Amino acid sequence: MIKIGELSKVTGCSVQTIRHYEKEHLIASAERSEGNFRLYDEAAVEQLLFIKHCRSLDLSVPEIRQLLALNRSPGAQCDDVNRMMDRHIEQVEARIQELTRLNEQLRMLRRSCSNRRTVEQCGILRNLSATPVSSG
Amino acid sequence: MIKIGELSKVTGCSVQTIRHYEKEHLIASAERSEGNFRLYDEAAVEQLLFIKHCRSLDLSVPEIRQLLALNRSPGAQCDDVNRMMDRHIEQVEARIQELTRLNEQLRMLRRSCSNRRTVEQCGILRNLSATPVSSG
DNA sequence: TATAAACTCTATAACAACTATAGAGTCAAT
DNA sequence: ATTGACTCTATAGTTGTTATAGAGTTTATA
């Protein structure tokens, strides 16, 4: 059994994050030592790594909760898992498109000003004052 | 002079957002009517549209504050504006790259499970349990 | 044994940029 | 007088952490 600092080192999650996950019921309440310190076993390490992996894929806490629940009911069909992944992938792709459009607009704006002008003549500020381009 | 609801309609910013911007000193404190209602003129409309345009480009509130300050000091060089835009563009492009990598990983993960399996055999859950791919 | 260092505990606030709510006041029309 | 639409302030919630304060525990050293 290891204490929270050790779990933090092993998993790369900060101590506060681990306590936060416990409060959010992503991980079960840990056993406590006599002095009220949290104690973790190997299973806790695995589960925390699972969560960390999910977070690295930008899955939200509620999504992870759902995955963990499914993981605990082995008889269930995994259509739910697939649907969640599909929805998540859609979201990520939508965000990429959004940022790509944004990037084009920013680059266009940036080209409207070269250095060594006063802000009176600054094309960036002038363009920002104009009505925004419709996002279509 | 128009009231906050009218300003909201004209600019497309919500009433709360306008009040929020005032509290954050992005816009000046509005004049008040006898009954303590905020009153806005055409200049307020313009400034709010400027802010909205900046936000649509994901510029942060502190960045916008800086732009507004520069806008108010016409003699200043606009190098600062350019530097801010360059930094911002870098951030956006970094985020796009990050999300693109993420998307690849998600699609790979998604392919590891077809429907109509039980979660015991679900490749997605199995892969999420394995050690995450190093982000390189 | 005293004590200091390193760790842990809980509770609470901060971050960003809003959004939502409660409870009260204002204004125009009926 | 009252209804409805609007506005006001103050406060809390959103998301996933991170940071802080003030206290208790454990371990190592003097």
C1' of nucleotide D5: residue with nearest CA: B5
| Contact state of B119 with A77 under an 8 Å Cβ cutoff | yes
User: pLDDT tens digits, residue range A63-78?
Assistant: 999 888 888 887 787 8
Lowest mean pLDDT among A24-33, A90-99, B80-89, B106-115: B106-115
| B117:A74 CB<8 A | no
User: Where residue B90 falls among pLDDT bands split at 50, 70, 90?
Assistant: very high
Predicted local confidence at residue B120, as pLDDT = 76
How distant is C1' of D26 from CA of A41, in Å?
Answer: 20
Q: What is each CA distance from A24 to A19, A20, A28, A48, A60, in whole angstroms? A: 9, 6, 9, 13, 12
Q: What is residue A40's three-state secondary structure?
A: strand
A16 touches strand D (CB under 7 A): yes
Give dist(CA B92, CA A102) in Å, integer. Answer: 8
The predicted structure's pLDDT at residue A113: 82
3-state secondary structure labels for all residues of B38-101: EEECHHHHHHHHHHHHHHHCCCCHHHHHHHHHHHHCCCCECHHHHHHHHHHHHHHHHHHHHHHH
| Cβ neighbours of residue A10 closer than 8 Å, sequence gap 6 or more | A2, A45
**What are the chain A neighbours of B56 within 8 Å (beta carbons)?**
132, 135
Q: Which residue of A has its CA nearest to B113?
A: A82
| Contact between B57 and A109 using a beta-carbon 8 Å cutoff | yes
**Considering only CB atoms, which chain A residues are within 8 Å of B46?**
129
pLDDT at residue B110 in the model: 87
A32 CA to chain B: closest CA distance, Å?
A: 26
pLDDT at position B129: 79
Residues of B in contact with A73 (CB under 8 A): 119
Work out the average pLDDT over B91-113.
91
Name residues 56-95 of chain B with a Cβ under 7 Å from nucleic strand D: none
| The one-letter amino acid at B84 | M
Interval B47-67: pLDDT, tens = 999 999 999 999 999 999 988
pLDDT of A131 reads: 61
Q: Is the pLDDT of residue A19 over 80?
A: yes
Tens digits of per-residue pLDDT, A97-130? 999 999 998 998 888 887 767 777 788 888 888 6
Task: Determine the Cα–Cα distance for residues A83 and B41; give it in Å rounded to an integer.
Answer: 50
State the average pLDDT for chain B. Answer: 88
Please check the confidence at residue A43 and state whether its pLDDT lies above 70: yes
Minimal CA separation from B31 to chain A, in Å:
23
Q: Which residues of A touch B58 (CB under 8 A)?
A: 102
* Low-confidence winner among A1-5, A79-83, B108-112, B132-136 (lowest mean pLDDT): B132-136
pLDDT of the residue at B126: 79
Strand D close to A61 by CB, under 7 A: yes
| Residue range B12-30, pLDDT digits in tens | 999 999 999 999 999 999 9
- CA of residue B136 to C1' of nucleotide D27, angstroms: 40
Q: How far is B125 from chain A, CA to nearest CA, in Å?
A: 7
B14 CB contact with strand C at below 7 Å = yes
pLDDT reported for residue A136: 30
CB-contacted nucleotides of strand C (7 Å) = 7-11, 16-21, 25-27
Complex confidence, ipTM: 0.80
> In the prediction, which pLDDT does A133 show?
46
- Rounded distance between C-alpha atoms, residue A88 and residue B49, angstroms: 33
Q: Which range is least confidently modeled, A37-41, A58-62, A94-98, A131-135? A: A131-135
- 3-class SS at B66? helix
